[in-house]
């Protein structure tokens, strides 16, 4: 979007904020609505800067965060436990936008994926009371797998580590591991003893 096309958006945001501040200073009681609209206007202002120059996607983060805060102020009672998820999700989407519009910003996948995972976990635990431990590590696994897919080979190691943590949070796998791990140790120990005994026999 060119500068000429973005100026009306910025102008409308400034006009709206100016009217709100004027009403507030004149003593018109608009309460939380005023505060929410101020945050929303500031958020839209950042988004306007982004649409003005999409090669610089950083305004997505404060823009979406400020809009989320506006939503929490205006609809906090209705959102209830989902309010925290909304806030975390907005930050996560901002970071993912930084990557999607500039693919060299692969690093943004990590905070973006982590925050979106936390948003999902917070929503499930807060509303439905579901234990999100497994889901959290699964989200991290997907996040680092996505980083690996961008060509960052080191990311395979945290992806494998978090995948193992996913398995460890699953009850039946932990139960199986209590049996399989000692059996594996016995097998390896027996093999090492057999190999040493076989070596001594060959030397004779």
The pLDDT tens digits of the residues spanning 107-144 come to: 999 999 999 999 998 888 766 656 677 888 999 999 99
The string of pLDDT tens digits covering residues 65-86 is 999 989 888 887 787 778 888 8
pLDDT of 34 reads 76
DSSP for 55-101, please give it.
Answer: T--TTHHHHHHHHHHHHHHHHHHHHTTHHHHHHHHHHHHHHHHHHHH
Using the predicted structure, report yes or no on whether residue 182 has a pLDDT greater than 60.
yes
Average pLDDT over all residues of the chain: 81
Question: Which band of pLDDT confidence, cut at 50, 70 and 90, is reported for residue 51?
Answer: confident
Torsion on CA atoms 146, 152, 154, 156, rounded to nearest 10: 30
Task: Flag the least confident range among 7-16, 28-37, 86-95, 147-156.
Answer: 7-16
% of the chain beyond a pLDDT of 90: 29
Residues 162, 141: Cα–Cα separation, whole Å = 5
pTM score over 0.95: no
The conformation of residue 25, written as its DSSP 8-state character, comes to H
How much is the pLDDT for 28?
65
Say how far apart CA 87 and CA 92 lie, in whole Å. 9
pLDDT (0 to 100) of residue 191: 79
């Amino acid at each position: 979007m060119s500068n000429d096309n973005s100026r009306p958006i910025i102008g409308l945001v400034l006009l709206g904020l100016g009217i709100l501040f004027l009403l507030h200073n004149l003593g018109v009681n608009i309460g939380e609505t005023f505060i929410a609209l101020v945050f929303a206007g500031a958020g839209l202002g950042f988004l306007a800067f982004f649409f003005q120059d999409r090669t610089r996607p950083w305004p997505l983060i404060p823009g979406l965060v400020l809009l989320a805060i506006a939503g929490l102020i205006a609809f906090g009672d209705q959102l209830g436990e989902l309010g925290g998820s909304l806030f975390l999700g907005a930050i996560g989407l901002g970071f993912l936008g930084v990557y999607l519009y500039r693919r060299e910003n692969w690093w943004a996948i990590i905070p973006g994926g982590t925050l979106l995972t936390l948003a999902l976990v917070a929503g499930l635990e807060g509303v439905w009371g579901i234990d999100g431990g497994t889901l959290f590590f699964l989200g991290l696994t997907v996040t680092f797998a996505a980083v690996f897919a961008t060509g960052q080979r080191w990311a395979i190691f945290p992806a494998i580590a978090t995948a193992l943590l996913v398995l460890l949070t699953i009850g039946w796998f932990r139960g199986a591991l209590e049996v399989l791990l000692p059996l594996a140790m016995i097998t390896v120990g027996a093999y090492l003893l057999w190999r040493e005994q076989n070596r001594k026999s060959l030397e004779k």
